[in-house]
Amino acid sequence: MKKLLLFLALLTFANRCAYAVPGYPAPGDPPRLNGQWQGPLQVPGGTLTLLITIVPLSNGTYYAALDVPQQRINRMPVEVELKDDNLVLRVEQAGSHFEGKVLAGGDKLVGTWQQPGLKTALTLARGTAPAAAQATKKLRLTPPYRESEVTFYNPVAKSKLSGTLTIPSGEGPFAAVALVSDSGPQDRDADWQGYRLFGMLADYLTRHGIAVLRYDDRGVGKSGGDFTRATTADFVTDARAALTFLRDQPLIAPQQVGLLGHGEGGNVALLAAAEPLEAPAFVVALAASGQPGRDVLRRQQGEIMRLIGADGAQVKAAQGLFDRLVETVRQTPNTAAARAKIITLLRSSNTALDEPMARARAAQLTSPWSRYFFDFDPTNRLALVRCPVLLLNGTADLQVAAGRNMSLLQKGLRQSGQAVQAHRLGGVNHLFQDDPTKWPIVAGERQAAFSPEGLEYLHAWLLERGRLAKAPLPVTVRRPAPRPKALTPLRPRTRRVAAAR
């Protein structure tokens, strides 16, 4: 068992730091790798299934991540180097790397996997969507609502973002919500291994009378911008641009436009709600963190190391190194100097770590996102939030512990004077999935789905916001604004309205 766990023994960051690890395709070549590859890794004591997801970014680099389902580890950062058909994948956190060839037009990655104490052949084959996912896609070809491709502009970043706007059938105006993704570059569906978290939410909410905007993160899919240089604060400007776009749509009630964020996106939504002008009408924060960024990452590290079998001494040593690395970044503003210090720390604590891996880790730790997140305290601006808030989290969430984080958020939000509700979903993980034994069966297969309890609670809370929006305004207001419509659709009509601009 100890040898089997060697694969993850050097783990230092978890999912939250899978922010963006640059890859390096050959200059001038278009991105050639896009998708997911998987294959069996033979290790002493058993076999581990490796899943590598690679996403090309608009600036010519790659975002990549590793999943190991048996270890319940997901989105571990991977560095990609691609030149012609030669491919190198470095998983610095696991002290491992893959060197091989891209074959069969990109359908196979064939080469050698190496980690401390193990060197073995490995073939990764491009994954295909399971039958259940294909069946679901076929069933959704003609949704009972309007759906259009849209583009909107972020004047702060001076870039365009692309997404999908879904509007219920009927005359409207409708309440609307923009979806804000978790850390790491995400497409508009927040698709991860066929589980389309935002695609599912958009479909459910639109069927229940709420318009939904979901968009590709900057530098992903059809959106412009550079994801690798963005911080959490930059993503707030993207969310505010989405709000502005929705308020300008003819079928949407501008007073009933809110934000729904997942993970880091939940914190982005709360920051947007604390802005002095044009706050959202409501915020739903799914698994948002309440602890400072560096504390969240430190706790994640300990949880995952314990999960894979590390003892107390190993966890303490790893977290001690993490603390030294973070303080080095925080105390050294000069990026080049900080990276040099980090490389020295890493290689002195692990002599097996080679120079390229140390450089990749140093680049990650000193990225704009990391520098911002280490000092980010989500509670600092909660007292300024200017709208009702719903907090949802799962008790099985390893990335953002429900108890500690929700308590901190609730305490801070109470100072705002706004209505706050919090609800914990039993047995639900960070992706808001129930235990796999409870997943629905589609085309003979278990298919990952958003927690039904979570959907019902979310829907009920949003309906309540609609009823509150219709309450009379205080008599001290001389010229009250028109009362917005409820969140439920009005009578249907047969004529379709032109797609949103």
Digit-coded pLDDT (tens) for 37-79: 989 988 777 888 888 888 877 667 787 888 777 665 666 778 8
CB burial string 304-331: b at 16+ within 10 A, e below: bbeebebeeeebeebbebbeebbebbee
Convert the pLDDT of each residue in 266-277 to its tens digit: 999 999 999 988
Cα–Cα distance for residue pair 81/89, rounded to 1 Å? 7
* Per-residue pLDDT at 77: 75
Report how far residue 272's alpha carbon sits from residue 232's, in angstroms, rounded to the nearest whole number: 11
What's the distance, CA 473 to chain centroid? Answer: 38
Domain borders along the chain are: 133-288+388-469, 293-374
DSSP string, 110-140: EEEEEETTEEEEEEEEE----HHHHHHHHHT
Instruction: Please say whether the structural domain 133-288+388-469 has been given the CATH code 3.40.50.1820.
Output: yes
Q: What's this model's pTM, rounded to 2 decimal places? A: 0.75
Angstrom distance (rounded) from CA 210 to CA 212: 6
Question: What local confidence, expressed as pLDDT, does residue 483 receive?
Answer: 44
Can you give the pLDDT at residue 235? 97
What is the CA angle 401-219-397, rounded to 5? 10
Give me the average pLDDT of each 10-residue run along the chain (501 residues). 37 41 47 82 82 78 77 72 87 76 90 84 80 49 89 96 96 94 92 89 95 95 91 96 97 96 97 92 97 85 67 83 92 93 87 74 87 93 96 91 93 95 94 88 84 95 68 36 42 39 34
CA atoms within 13 A on the CB side of 285: 32
Both tokens of 281, joined, read 């009408």
Best CA proximity match to 227, nearest among 21, 11, 447: 21
pLDDT at 347: 85
| C-beta separation of 77 from 92 below 8 A | yes
Whole-angstrom CA distances from 155 to 178, 215, 241, 245, 254 are 18, 16, 8, 12, 20
Q: Alpha-carbon distance 129 to 405, whole Å?
A: 35
Q: How far apart are CA 501 and CA 499, in angstroms?
A: 6
pLDDT at 62: 81
Of residues 188, 37, 204, the one with CA closest to residue 123: 37
Distance CA 197, CA 251 (A): 25
Cα distance between residue 189 and residue 197, in whole Å: 6
Q: What is the pLDDT of residue 34?
A: 84
Q: What is the pLDDT of residue 1?
A: 38
